[in-house]
């Protein structure tokens, strides 16, 4: 009997493995292979206006990225852009996900559909919409002026780091909230009631009941938001101003303006590895804090 059960389980597992192969193939073909090609470019020889990368292999491109002092400002801008968007996204996303999980009631499916719809809107249209909203003659400034809160339009709302971060938060928030909502799913209302009965304070309730359950999802959401924001070059180009260049912008410039693929690839991989490092640090922090157990502390 036991042997038959084991055999059934094995059969099921092999079917699962087989079922997962197409998905794995797609990931390998569409994500891993291009990334590896890009990585190989970073170690090849190229040059301005070559629009190509070819052997001999060299460490020169990577060395240039690591040794150029001017890149420090790119690191700073990349970290601020990604970090601010991830932090604000989590700060806004946690209460939203909490509300959807506990208070949305029958509206919950509709709220989730709305979130997905927000995600499906054209990226460029949203960026141009922000110009209308945040511009000197935009909705925000007009409102501030009409209410007498400001005497003149606030020019810092647009073409600054502020507008870039606001737009990126807007773009990443649906993903952040959806991931956080998934994190809230195992959180039973009875856990909270029980902690209340046991005399936990509001802070204690969050620290020992809610946080351990949602921390892994929050970390995933934060990493994803960070990656999207830090590696985005279109939003800073359309909504940013001087002094906001990032590694992603430098990588784009290597490919598009210079036609130096190895140079662009070295910057692209530097950005990717840097972001992966930040993500790994965040996951490590969650683990060290003991917040990765998926159960109340």
Partner 1 sequence: MGSRPDTATGITRRVALRRAGSGAVLLTGLPTLLAACGDDEETGAAATSTGPPKAKGVIDYLGVEGEDGKGVRSLERYLSRSGARLQSTYTAAPAETLQRFKSGRADGVDLVDFSNAQVAQFHAADVMQEIDPERVPNLKNLSADYRGTDKPWYVDGKLYAIPYYNGPFTPVWDTRAVSKPITSWDQYREPSLKGRLGFYSSPEGTLNIAAIATGAAKDPTRPGEVPKAKLGDVSRWLEDVVPNVRSFAPSLGDLVNQFKAREIDAAFGGWAGFAGIAALAGVNTISYTALPSPGAPAAVEVWSVGRDADNADSVLAYMNQVLDPRANGELNLFLAGGPSVDGAYEAVPDLEKVLPKDAYAGKLGTAELPYLQLPPAESDEFITSEEWTAKFTELIGA
CB 194 within 8 A of CB 225: no
Among residues 210, 228, 230, 249, which is the contact residue for partner 1, using CB under 8 A?
Answer: 249
Tokens describing residue 55: 């052997």
Half-sphere exposure of 223 (CA within 13 A, CB side): 21
8-state DSSP, 69 = T
Query: In the complex with partner 1, which residue's Cβ is closer, 46 or 279?
Result: 46
Among residues 14, 121, 256, 294, which is the contact residue for partner 1, using CB under 8 A?
Answer: 256
Using N-to-C axis directions, what is the helix angle for 123-134 and 139-146, rounded to 10°? 20
Among residues 81, 82, 164, 263, which is the contact residue for partner 1, using CB under 8 A?
Answer: 263
CB atoms under 10 Å from CB of 244, counted, come to 19
Tokens describing residue 5: 């059960």
Residues in the chain, overall count: 297
Among residues 74, 173, 223, 225, which is the contact residue for partner 1, using CB under 8 A?
Answer: 74
Among residues 39, 136, 154, 292, which is the contact residue for partner 1, using CB under 8 A?
Answer: 136
Considering only the stretches 9-17, 21-29, 72-80, 205-213, report the one whose residues sit in contact with partner 1 under the rule CB under 8 A. 72-80
Alpha-carbon span 196 to 227, nearest angstrom: 37
Q: Does 259 bind partner 1 (CB under 8 A)?
A: yes
Q: Does 57 bind partner 1 (CB under 8 A)?
A: no
Instruction: Note the residues at the interface with partner 1 (CB under 8 A).
Output: 47-52, 68, 70, 73-74, 77, 128, 131-132, 135-138, 155, 158-159, 237-238, 240-245, 249-250, 253, 256-260, 263
């Amino acid at each position: 009997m036991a042997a038959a059960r084991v055999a059934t389980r094995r059969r099921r597992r092999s079917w699962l493995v087989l079922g997962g192969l197409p998905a794995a193939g797609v990931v390998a073909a569409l994500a891993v292979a291009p990334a590896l090609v890009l990585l190989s470019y970073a170690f090849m020889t190229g040059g301005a206006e070559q629009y190509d990368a070819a052997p001999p292999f060299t460490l020169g491109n990577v060395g240039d990225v690591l040794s150029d002092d001017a890149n420090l400002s790119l690191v700073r801008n990349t970290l601020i852009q990604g970090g601010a968007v991830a932090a604000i996204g989590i700060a806004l996303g946690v209460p939203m996900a909490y509300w959807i999980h506990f208070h949305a009631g029958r509206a919950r499916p509709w709220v989730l559909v709305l979130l997905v719809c927000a995600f499906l809107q054209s990226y460029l249209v949203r960026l141009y919409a922000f110009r209308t909203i945040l511009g000197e003659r935009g909705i925000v400034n007009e409102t501030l002026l009409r209410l007498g809160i400001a005497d003149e339009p606030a020019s810092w709302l647009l073409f600054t780091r502020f507008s870039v971060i606001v737009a990126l938060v807007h773009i990443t928030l649906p993903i952040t909230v959806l991931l956080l909502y998934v994190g809230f799913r195992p959180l039973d209302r009875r856990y909270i009631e029980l902690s209340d009965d046991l005399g936990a304070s509001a802070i204690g309730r969050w620290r020992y009941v809610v946080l351990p359950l949602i921390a892994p999802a929050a970390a995933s959401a934060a990493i994803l938001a960070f990656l999207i924001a830090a590696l985005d070059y279109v939003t800073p180009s359309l909504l940013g101003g001087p002094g906001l260049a990032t590694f992603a912008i430098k990588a784009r410039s290597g490919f598009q303006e210079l036609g130096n693929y190895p140079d662009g690839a070295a910057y692209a991989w530097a950005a990717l590895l840097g972001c992966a490092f930040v993500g790994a640090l965040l996951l490590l922090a969650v683990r060290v804090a003991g917040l990765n157990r998926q159960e109340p502390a």
